[in-house]
Amino acid sequence: MPRLYAQGVVFQLLYGEGLSVPPMVYVQRLRQLAEDPWVRAYLGRLAWHTGQLDKARAYLQEALTQDSGCVPAYLFLARMVPDSACYWLDQAARHPLSAGQKTYLHQLKSRQRCP
């Protein structure tokens, strides 16, 4: 599966308004695309939101093992593990970021009072 398709599904779930089908359909599609690191990062975020912390960490670590430049995984880890948030945010800042990711990174850094 092309990476842009997987990222498109992730972005649709994150930012999509007026989804044409119920969100669970997108989640099922993500599970079919689970080999993509971005998808793994998003599945980690979903697991975290449902209280499955071990599963969330596993998804996020797998995403970073597959692609050390998977910025969403770093950003999600920064939210999941507040004690080491500054470390994860510094790791994310070492990779190319979109304008939205830069804004979100700065928001998280100021919230965590990172240097």
Q: pLDDT over 70 for what percent of the chain?
A: 79
Structure confidence by residue, pLDDT tens digits, 55-103: 999 999 999 999 998 888 998 888 888 889 899 999 999 998 888 888 8
More confident residue, 106 or 31: 106
Q: How much is the pLDDT for 1? A: 47
Please state, in angstroms and rounded to a whole number, the distance separating the CA atoms of residues 40 and 109: 23
Please state, in angstroms and rounded to a whole number, the distance separating the CA atoms of residues 96 and 17: 27
Query: Which CATH number goes with the domain that contains 65?
Result: 1.25.40
Quote the pTM value. Answer: 0.71
Q: Which domain holds residue 46?
A: 3-112
Domain count, the chain: 1
Q: Is the confidence at residue 4, as pLDDT, over 90?
A: no
